[in-house]
Amino acid sequence: MSFIRSFIKNLYVCVFVDNTECSIFGKFVKNQSDLGTIEADFEITEKHIDFKFNDYIKKNTKKAHSTYVALLLSTKKQWALPVADRVGYNQFGVNYNEVQVVNMPGGWSIFISNDEIANQTKFLNGLKPDLLYSPYVLLYEKICEFRADDRITLYVYAQDTSCTMMVFAGLEMRYAAYFCEGEEEKMAEEDTIAPINIADIDNIIAKEDDKFSALNALNDLDDDNFELNGQFCDITKVEDVERSGAQIEESLQKVGRSGNMLNNIKEAMKEYYRNPLYQSEFIEKIVVFDSQDVLDEQSFIDVVGHEIFVDSAVFKVDRNEDLLSIIKRELNP
């Protein structure tokens, strides 16, 4: 079947769900050649996606012989464990019969509750996705692609409103955690996370503060800067200031995300070290795969160095292409 599929026009659709909107990225493919790309964003209303999503899928389905819709899970009710059998699940207090388990290379696994799978179809207004993927799969793919470090390493796959973490010793999985923006459950645990020492990132913010001086140019745009006939003397000054202001805002947002990411990393490390169910050893390195340009690389490395005192690295990746490459490989082995 996969041999025949390679000679017909197929549409592979990736569906990504964030807090307030759902994004689609898809490609028309024939004989391993990309024939075109589709991209669209849709609002999320209450507990389902806008019905325009379904209309959009139907419209593009007519342009291909076959369409395959893959949904990247964003639910908090997905987990990964360093075990893969019924005995191991019992040790972690999970009823093996009430979950869907995907075994991964190296003796670890990903699981999701049976009810949650049905909820994904409801969210898509009755459209049953052909493929379901966990972000743990995306992270594992990057770990293998970048060749896993022999040191005990905490790996992170960062999206705009979530981050997926796993600790590996070489290719042996030791621990996993998934964090969503606004995840109250994590923040309500008895031992609260120590707040970030703002003084440690003052030097980062200070680098951006100097750029704010450019905004003072706004004060110069008074009546003396305009001709009486209503023509601007130098409209480029306004454009430069607006562009500078947008760049500064983006930079500061990334610094803030670095702080949020650090809090999540601290929470994950705390659980990894304290929970006797995990085979814990000292984490020697942190590697982040930034899939949506979430972080400022140097700011994050500086903050981690001040707060956790381990080596760190940030690699820019593309979640659209990451998921699409997995779909292509699985449907065309």
pLDDT band at 25 (very low <50, low <70, confident <90, very high): very high
What is this structure's pTM?
0.78
Yes or no: say if 88 and 81 are a contact pair by the CB < 8 Å rule.
yes
Residue 167 φ then ψ, to 5°: -100, 130
pLDDT tens by residue, 78-131: 999 999 999 999 999 999 999 999 999 999 999 998 889 889 999 999 999 999
Q: Confidence band (pLDDT; 50, 70, 90) for 268? A: very high
Question: Cα separation of 286 and 156, whole Å?
Answer: 8
Confidence of residue 3 (pLDDT cuts 50, 70, 90): low
Mean pLDDT to the nearest integer, 157-171: 93
Residue 232 has pLDDT above 90, yes or no: no
Is 230 or 135 the better-scoring residue by pLDDT? 135
Cβ atoms 156, 288 nearer than 8 A: yes
Domains in the chain (CATH in brackets) are 1-133 (3.30.420), 147-317 (3.30.420.40)
Q: In angstroms, rounded to a whole number, what is the distance separating the alpha carbons of residues 227 and 210?
A: 31
Q: Give the pairing type, strands 33-45 and 48-49.
A: antiparallel
In whole angstroms, what is the distance from residue 68 CA to residue 129 CA? 8
pLDDT at residue 77 is higher than 60 = yes
Of 72-81, 102-111, 141-150, the range with the lowest mean pLDDT is: 141-150
Give the number of other Cβ atoms within 10 Å of residue 237's Cβ: 15
Contacts of 215 (CB under 8 A, 6+ apart): 241, 244, 245, 248
